Amino acid sequence: MKNNQISTIMDVALSRNVMPRILAKCAFAMVLAASPAMAQQPSSAGPYKVLKIAKVGGVGGFDYVYADSENRRLYIARTGQASPPRITIFNLDTLEPAGEIAGISAHDVAVDSKSNHGFSTSKPVVMWDAKTLEKSKTIDVSGNPDGILADPFNQRIYVWSHAAPNATVIDAVNGAVVGTIDLGGAPEQAVSDGHGRIYVDIEDKSEIAVIDAKTMSVTGRYSLGDKGGTPAGLAFDVKNHILFAACRTPATMVMLNSDDGKILATLPLGSGTDGAAFNPTTMEAFSSQGDGTLTVIKEVSPTNFVVEQTIQTPMSAKTSTLDSKTNHILLIAAEFGPSTPPATPGGRPVRGAMVPDSFSIISVGK
């Protein structure tokens, strides 16, 4: 509804004395709220804000970011043909450079807190001492390593791959491969209940696969139906048995019961989610999106969820990690030049080159 139409409604109402002036003003407010072009947009007001943006620079592509809260280190893998592949490490408190592990072309990192062994999703997988950052072993794997999970239940590392085998399981103590798992699809993010059950979202199947950590077998599949598709992030409220599946198509967060897969609720997200986390201290789930938003979902109760806040972040900050000590969310992003139109109609445009030294770490907190 246009402004001149709204004014006409007001004039007619008052000139004909159809309603008192105060009711006319109420009617105007109602029409204004119903107008899509003038309705109030979602507010970013809330307890969270961007605390710091550290422009650390450096060349090379990037994917995931991992916070080792115990050792106070932040791991970011950098890749690319024009730059030497490496894993960069930053001080988790200051975001200052704290080291580098050279010669590793990886997507993600995980650390087993008991053995203090770190692992990369590279080919081969590299194991190192998380205290000294010294490499200790390389582990041959098949597939295309992408995401990773360190499961504290039996100290095993799960290396996820979109190509078969979808999961390679490694003993975190000695680095031995103990098995592989066929998930029947492309895994993205995974979570553990710490008691022998692992959940992983299957991006191309729009479902959550349930894994028995003892037998290394799939014991269940939870379909997201029409509530959420292309799940790319997964978070877990272990205490209340609630999974938070961050989906791209449609852009929604789907909350479901981890025991039976029953869908409890859905809430809207920004565009291009690629990571999720749950903070049991604050009872909040987070989803980071490539459109420059970080969505905070408050678990009011095990059956009541609300979008608490949407924080503006730099564009391309689609992956994130939780620092469980400070309750800060860390994201990574860079600036890019103009994209190239798709080569064929309906294709995807090619992202422009990264602006030199624009790579940044973003810290979000209260």
What is the C-alpha to C-alpha distance for residues 90 and 95, in angstroms, rounded to an integer?
Answer: 5
What is the C-alpha to C-alpha distance for residues 107 and 265, in angstroms, rounded to an integer?
Answer: 31
Output the pLDDT for position 340.
Answer: 87
HSE-CB at 175 with a 13 A cutoff on CA atoms is 18
What is the C-alpha to C-alpha distance for residues 353 and 348, in angstroms, rounded to an integer?
Answer: 16
* 296 three-class SS: strand
Distances (CA, A) of 299 to 12, 198, 247, 259: 47, 22, 18, 18
**Domains located in the chain, CATH noted:** 1-40 (no CATH), 44-337+351-365 (2.130.10.10)
Q: Are 296 and 48 in contact (CB under 8 A)?
A: yes
Per-residue pLDDT of the chain (366 residues; tens, 9 = 90+): 434 443 433 343 333 343 333 333 333 333 333 333 332 334 568 999 999 999 999 999 999 999 999 999 999 999 987 789 999 999 999 999 999 999 999 999 999 999 999 999 999 999 999 999 999 999 999 999 999 999 999 999 999 999 999 999 999 999 999 999 999 999 999 999 999 999 999 999 999 999 999 999 999 999 999 999 999 999 999 999 999 999 999 999 999 999 999 999 999 999 999 999 999 999 999 999 999 999 999 999 999 999 999 999 999 999 999 999 999 999 999 999 988 888 888 777 888 899 999 999 999 999
Let me know the angle formed at the C-alpha of 126 by 125 and 127, rounded to the nearest 5 degrees.
Answer: 125
Output the pLDDT for position 208.
Answer: 98
Whether the link from the prior residue into 145 is cis, omega within 30° of 0, is: no
Q: Are 148 and 157 in contact (CB under 8 A)?
A: yes
Output the pLDDT for position 44.
Answer: 62
CA-nearest of 366, 267, 268, 274 to 317 is 274
* 168 three-class SS: strand
What is the C-alpha to C-alpha distance for residues 323 and 331, in angstroms, rounded to an integer?
Answer: 11
Instruction: Classify residue 22 as exposed, middle or buried by CB count within 10 Å of its CB (0-12, 13-18, 19+).
Output: exposed
Output the pLDDT for position 11.
Answer: 42
Output the pLDDT for position 27.
Answer: 37
